[in-house]
Amino acid sequence: MLRRYQKIYSPAIGRDMEMLAFGHAGKPIIAFTNNGGPFYEFEDNGMIKALAHLIDDGKIRVYTIGNIDQETWYHTGLDPHWRGVRHTAYQDFILNNLVPAIRYDATNEPSIGLMGVDFGAFHAVNFALKFPRNFTYALGMSGRYDLDAVCGRKSKSLEVYYNNPLAYTANLSGLELKKVRKHTHISLVCGQGNWDTTSIRETQRLAKTLDKAKISHEIDIWGMDVEPDWYWWEKQAVYHIEKLLEPASAAK
């Protein structure tokens, strides 16, 4: 398997962001780590090994990056507004530094997919809903999608509102809604086991909101024994990414 380590400088964040890239061909997928997770979290916890057959066969490339969640939404010492302001720097990195690097690397693959676990699922789904022309697919596993709950209080800040899928999605309209309906698909996955109570509640709420907005999506609730850990996330990722690739395989 082709594996590369890379640093990408982010002027907005003010430092290098580290990344691992896996694969030589196929659909590019950005993988968002859990809250505070390092860029190598997916590899260390077996996710890359679980997806190795798809990577080695040239069906997908996976780009694993870190986050700055401890400086943004999980920075309890900051007012939610300022957490959102700092998140804008991370958004700038994704759109203006990471996406161009991936497009240069995967020149024959115009669409980019997203995936994430726990709070990484928030990033995957949020970026896909906000920027559907860049990101045509998002897989969220055991996700958190209500920023008011994450921040521990409601905020009137637009910086929070426009990053809270359970707030802004219900109010999408006009051209913005058309773009989302046309370009992207959201897969929401969650188990019913221990520690997934909050995630399943927010997953179900978001699925209902997407349904009302007629945004392409699916909700996949796994069994009572399925907990938010890497053992299950690996199985969920393999199942849904293979499913994502089925139309392409059928066309050959």
**Each residue's pLDDT tens digit, 126-137:** 999 999 999 999
In angstroms, the Cα distances linking 65 to 30, 32, 78, 149, 150 are 8, 6, 24, 25, 21
Q: What is the dihedral of CA 98, 29, 68, 73, to 10 degrees?
A: 120
**CB 37, CB 67: distance < 8 Å:** yes
pLDDT of amino acid 252: 39
Strands (E), 112-191: 112-117, 135-141, 185-190
Spatial distance between the Cα atoms of 173 and 144, rounded to a whole number of angstroms: 24
Greatest distance between any 2 Cα atoms in the chain? 53
pLDDT digit string (tens) for 140-158?
A: 999 999 999 999 889 999 9
Token representation of residue 108: 């024959």
Q: Can you give the pTM of this predicted structure?
A: 0.95
Burial of 147 (0-12, 13-18, 19+ CB in 10 A): buried
Residues constituting the chain = 252
pLDDT digit string (tens) for 8-53?
A: 999 999 999 999 999 999 999 999 999 888 999 999 999 999 999 9
82 backbone φψ class: left, alpha, beta (φ>0; ψ -120 to 50)? alpha
pLDDT of amino acid 32: 97
**CB 233, CB 47: distance < 8 Å:** yes
pLDDT of amino acid 35: 86
Residue 248 confidence class, pLDDT cut points 50, 70, 90:
low
Token representation of residue 185: 């698909």
> Which domains are present in the chain?
3-251 (3.40.50.1820)
